[in-house]
Amino acid sequence: MNINIYYGGRGIIDDPCLFVLDKMQEILEELRVNVTRYNLYEMKNTIPTLPQTLKDCDGIILATTVEWYGIGGYMQQFLDACWLFGDKEKIAGIYMCPVVMSTTWGERESKLYLSTSWEILGGKLCKGLCGYIENSMVLEMNEQYIKVIERETENIYRTISQRMSNFPASNQVIKQKAAVPKSTNLTPQESEQLSEYVSDDSYVQRQKQDIQELTSLFRDMMEEESGGDEQYLNVFRKCFKPQAGFEAEYSISIEGKKNKLILSVHGPKFECYYGTLEQPDVEVGLDRATMEEIVSGRMTFQRAFMSGAMKTKGDFRVLRTLDQLFMFEEFK
C-alpha cells in the first residue's frame, strides 16, 4: 500500500500538525505502508506538477494548519493543480484523509473544506482528524491525544486496505451540472507536460517576451502596410519653410510608434526620418490624434503644448519655431 502525505503548513517548529503527521507516518510504516511526504512550502514553484505524484498511491493525507483563517495558500494551490491538471480517473480511486490542526479557530470548517474539495474532484473520503491545539507541547505530553492519533491512523489503514465504500455525495451531482471545468481536450500525459511548463518560471517569462516581440512585429507590419509613417514624412517635407540661418534638431515621439520622428533643420537643408537622435535641441511627445490635428492644419504645435496635449523638453525658443518652419495650413 502507498500513501502520500501533502503538508500545507509553513513548517514552523511548534506547528502541532507536524507532530500529528510524524506520529501517523510512524504508525503507517509499522503497518508496512510506503509513505511519501511532500512539504508544499519547500516546493512552491513545483506545486502545479504534484498531481503527477498521485499516480501510484492508494490514499493520501491532506494536512494543514489553521493559523488565522482557512487552509492556507499552499494547500489551495495544490487543490487547484489537481482540478486543472490531475487525472480525474485516477483520483476517483484514491482515498483522502483530511488532517487539520488549528492554533486559533476554524479547524472543523477547514476539514470540511478539504473533504468537499476532494469529493468534487471525484475522490473517496476517510473520516479524518481535526483539533484545536494552542501549544504543540500539550499535544506531545498528553497520552490520550496520542491514542486518538493512533486510532484514527489505524482507521485510515483499514478503510484503504478494505476499499470501504462511501455513500454517494451531492457534490458529485453538482460537479456534473454546474462545476464542470472548460474542456481542454488534453490527455492526462499532455496535462502533466502543461503543468511542468506552468511551474517553470523561465519558460513563462520567455513566452511573455515572445508575445511582446510578436506584438511589436505585427504593429510595425501594419504601420508599413497602412503607409502612415511615410505619409507624415511627405507632409513635413512639403510644408517645410526654411528660416535663414536657423539650425535645430527635433525628436518627436508619437504614441504607438516604435521609432521617433526626427526633424533636422540646417538653414535651407531639411531632413526627416524615423530613428533615434542622441542630443536633440527639443524632444516632443504626443499621441497620434494630436499629431493628426497638427499635420491637418487644425492645431499648431504651440497650441498643443499650451493645452497639455503635447509634452516637451529642451529649448522652448527653438520649440516655438516649429510653427514657422512647417506651414501645415497652407498645405491644407
User: What is the pLDDT, as a whole number, of residue 105?
Assistant: 87
Distance CA 148, CA 141 (A): 13
Return the domain boundaries, the chain.
2-199, 228-331
Mean pLDDT estimate for the chain:
85
Work out the number of other CB atoms within 10 angstroms of the CB of residue 147.
Answer: 10
Main-chain phi, psi angles of 264, to 5 degrees: -115, 115
User: What is the pLDDT, as a whole number, of residue 189?
Assistant: 57
**What is the CATH architecture assignment of 228-331?**
2-Layer Sandwich (3.30)
pLDDT tens profile 35-66 = 999 999 999 889 999 999 998 899 999 999 99
- Amino acid in position 255: E
Q: Where are the alpha helices (DSSP H) in the chain?
A: 16-30, 73-85, 88-91, 107-121, 136-141, 143-161, 170-177, 188-199, 201-226, 228-239, 288-295, 301-307, 316-320, 322-325, 328-331
112 or 330, higher pLDDT: 112
User: What is the pLDDT, as a whole number, of residue 207?
Assistant: 72
Question: Among 175, 73, 54, 68, which Cα is nearest to 121's?
Answer: 175
Rounded to 10 deg, the angle between the 143-161 and 16-30 helix axes is: 50
CATH topology for the 2-199 domain = Rossmann fold (3.40.50)
> Rounded to 5, what percent of the chain is helix, strand, coil?
50, 20, 30
Distance CA 177, CA 180 (A): 7
Close Cβ partners of 139 (under 8 Å, ≥ 6 residues apart): 16, 19, 20, 133, 145
pLDDT tens profile 169-219 = 776 665 555 455 555 556 555 665 666 665 566 666 777 777 777 766 666
